[in-house]
Structure 1
Amino acid sequence: MAHHMSPSDHDPNSDSSKARLYNPYQDLQVPMRNLYQLPTSPEFLFVEEAKRQRRSWGENLTFYTGCSYLGGAIGGGGAGLVSGVRSFESGDTTKLRINRVLNSSGHTGRVWGNRLGVIGLIYAGMESGIQAVRDTEDVWNSVAAGLGTGAIYRAAKGVRSAAVAGAVGGVLVGVAVTARQAAKRYVPI
Structure 2
Amino acid sequence: MAINRSSDHESDENTRLYHPYQNYQVPIKSQYLYKLPTSPEFLFTEESLKQRRSWGENLTFYTGTGYLAGSVAGASAGIFSGIKSFENGDTTKLKINRILNSSGQAGRTWGNRVGIVGLIYAGIESGVVAVTDKDDVWTSVVAGLGTGAVFRAARGVRSAAVAGAFGGIAAGAVVAGKQVFKRYAHI
Q: Shorter-chain TM-score: which interval? A: 0.7 to 0.9
* Identical counterparts, % of pairs: 63
For the residues of structure 2 that align with 1:57 and 1:143, how far apart are their CA atoms? 17
For the residues of structure 2 that align with 1:84 and 1:38, how far apart are their CA atoms? 53
For residues 94 and 167 of structure 1, do their structure 2 counterparts lie closer, same or farther at Cα, with a shift above 3 Å needed? same
Other-structure match for 2:69: 71
Per-residue CA deviations over 1:126-160 (Å, capped at 9, x if unaligned) read: 00000111111110000000000000000000000
1:138-153 to structure 2, matched below 5 A, reads: 138-153=136-151
1:114-153 to structure 2, matched below 5 A, reads: 114-153=112-151
2:79/2:99 contact within 8 Å kept: yes
Unaligned runs of 5+ in 2: 1-6, 23-32
Per-residue CA deviations over 1:15-45 (Å, capped at 9, x if unaligned) read: xxxxxxxxx89x8699983744869xx8223
Shift of 1:48: 2.3
Amino acid paired to 1:112: W
Q: Is 1:96 paired with 2:99? A: no
Other-structure match for 2:174: 176
SS of alignment partner, residue 43 of structure 2? coil
Higher share in strand = 2
Per-residue CA deviations over 1:51-104 (Å, capped at 9, x if unaligned) read: 110000000000000000000000000000000011111110111101100000
SS of alignment partner, residue 54 of structure 1? coil
For residues 171 and 38 of structure 1, do their structure 2 counterparts lie closer, same or farther at Cα, with a shift above 3 Å needed? same
Other-structure match for 1:12: none
Other-structure match for 1:6: none
SS of alignment partner, residue 141 of structure 1? helix
For residues 85 and 164 of structure 1, do their structure 2 counterparts lie closer, same or farther at Cα, with a shift above 3 Å needed? same
Shift of 1:110: 0.3
Unaligned runs of 5+ in 1: 1-23
For the residues of structure 2 that align with 1:46 and 1:116, how far apart are their CA atoms? 36
Using structure 1 for the length normalisation, give the TM-score: 0.80
SS of alignment partner, residue 42 of structure 2? coil
Q: 1:158 aligns with which of 156, 159, 174?
A: 156
Other-structure match for 1:15: none
Using structure 2 for the length normalisation, give the TM-score: 0.80
Structure whose CA Rg is larger? 1
Aligned-residue CA RMSD in angstroms? 2.3
SS of alignment partner, residue 150 of structure 1? helix
